[in-house]
Structures are given as structure tokens and as C-alpha cells.
Structure 1
Amino acid sequence: MKILAVETRDKDQVIDITDTIEQHLRNVQQENGLCTIFVPHTTCAVAAMDLDPGTDLDFLDALRRLLPPIRYRHPHDPAHAPDHILATLIGPSLVVPYARSRLLLGTWQRVVLVELDGPRRRTLHLTCSS
């Protein structure tokens, strides 16, 4: 397992981590297999998405509009509850096959970290298996 750190700079942010993951794959013994990316945080997530200019901001805007204006009961900080809910909807992990040390993503797909409560230092756990 490899642990990587990612620094976020905004409250809501999409960060392309594809190249970082592929750099790690070049040092893995198995040239082919599955790469699992996991974030051990409750207010960020990982996903595969299109990153054409502006789609990151469209995604973040759409996410924030998904949740209804309800009274949240999160005891720590009710205003923080939507961050937890959105991170749960996206998910803390992603599994991507790889071959010849490259992720087998679609033409427009990139692997991203979705920050929902930044800025923060986030941890990624990468596990590669055949």
C-alpha cells in the first residue's frame, strides 16, 4: 500500500490525481491489475469524471444544489452536515484497472479527489493488486 498526501486550497475543489496515481504505478511490481484509491475522510471523496474546462465547477455547483434546505442535526456543526452527506453520495473509494502501469480510463476520464470541506491536507491510500 502507498499513502499519498494531497493539499487542497478551497472549500469545494476538484483535484486531478490521475498523474500522481500513474506515477505510483510505475513503481509497482505488477504491470497489470486493479488499483484501489481510498480516502479515509468523511468530507472528501474520489471519482472518475470528465475534466473539460469548467466541468469541475459545474459538478461542484450541481452537488451543492442536490441537498434540500433542511434543518441538519449534526451535533458537531450542523452547517458541516451537507459536506458529510455529499462525500457519502460520491464515495470514499474507486477501483480502476490498469495495464502496463497506466490506468485504463475512458478517453475523457480522470481520477479526481473531490474536496468538500477545505482547505485541508488529505490522505490517499493506494493498493494495487493483480
Structure 2
Amino acid sequence: MLKRISVKTSKRDEMIDITREIKVAIHEAKIEQGVVMVYSAHTTAGITINENADPDVKHDMLMRLDEVYPWEHPKYRHAEGNSASHLKTSTVGASQIIIIEEGDLVLGTWQGIYFCEFDGPRNRTVYIKTMEG
């Protein structure tokens, strides 16, 4: 089953926890065992799994990505001026695959699934594909 969810971002760079929405999709699909793929079809936004207990982790990740890929750089050539967001997305990745067991995500105690915005604010789409198996 394929489900699309909308994510409205409010900042240029932010990480939004979408774990709950993915759990809803699994429940709606009535999957007990299998996998779920979470996919962002955007070149300037990605999907990652990381700690969801301490908000400072999101802050630190975004801060360090900004240090590695500054918004402005004299050698960037991309005409739209958002080369940093493309680099961040390629580093984080566009998708994650998570195991489903007993109708729930197999995640560590502190793990959550995040939509990573790197060129906002925007209205985005995330695809959630559940597969039995």
C-alpha cells in the first residue's frame, strides 16, 4: 500500500518527526510483518532516523550540516543559490527502510523517523510504502 502525507515546513532547515504518521500508515495497511519504505521525492529534503528524545540532537545535526555545507560559498555554481540544500540531502539520503514486526516499527528506544527540510519553508510530500513479508 502506498500512502502520501503532506509535510508543511516553517524554516529553511529543520527536522520534523514523522514517526507517528508512519505508524498510522502501518496500522491502516494492517501489516503485521514486513517493511516500510519512507521516501522524499525532493532534491532538497531527505529522510533520516535519529534520536527523538533530546531536541538538542536535531539542533546539533543541523548546525554541523550548516558548517560542512554553508548556505553561501564562492565556488557554488548552481543558479538557484541552494547548492547547500542539495548537498545536505545527498548526505542524509532520500529514504529509509524500517522493519515492521507485530504491527509496529522496529526502532531503538530513542529512535524516531525525521523529514529533513533543507530549503524551506515549503509544502512537501512524503511517500510511505508498506510491504508484507
Q: Normalising by the residue count of structure 2, what TM-score does the alignment of the two structures yield?
A: 0.91
**Aligned counterparts of 2:13 and 2:36: Cα–Cα separation in 1:** 25
Q: Structure 1: which 5+ runs fail to align?
A: none
Q: How do 1:1-130 and structure 2 match up within 5 A?
A: 1-51=2-52, 52-67=54-69, 69-75=73-79, 77=80, 79-129=81-131, 130=133
Q: Secondary structure at the match of 2:29?
A: coil
Runs of 4+ displaced beyond 6 Å: none
Q: Normalising by the residue count of structure 1, what TM-score does the alignment of the two structures yield?
A: 0.93
**Aligned counterparts of 2:32 and 2:103: Cα–Cα separation in 1:** 5
**Aligned counterparts of 1:60 and 1:17: Cα–Cα separation in 2:** 17
How far does residue 48 in structure 1 lie from its aligned partner after superposition?
0.2
**Aligned counterparts of 2:30 and 2:57: Cα–Cα separation in 1:** 35
Matched pairs, number: 128
1:43-78: CA deviation from partner (whole Å, max 9, x where unpaired): 100000012131111110011111374510113x2x
Q: Structure 2: which 5+ runs fail to align?
A: none
**Aligned counterparts of 1:53 and 1:80: Cα–Cα separation in 2:** 26
**Aligned counterparts of 1:66 and 1:84: Cα–Cα separation in 2:** 13
Counterpart code for 1:84: H
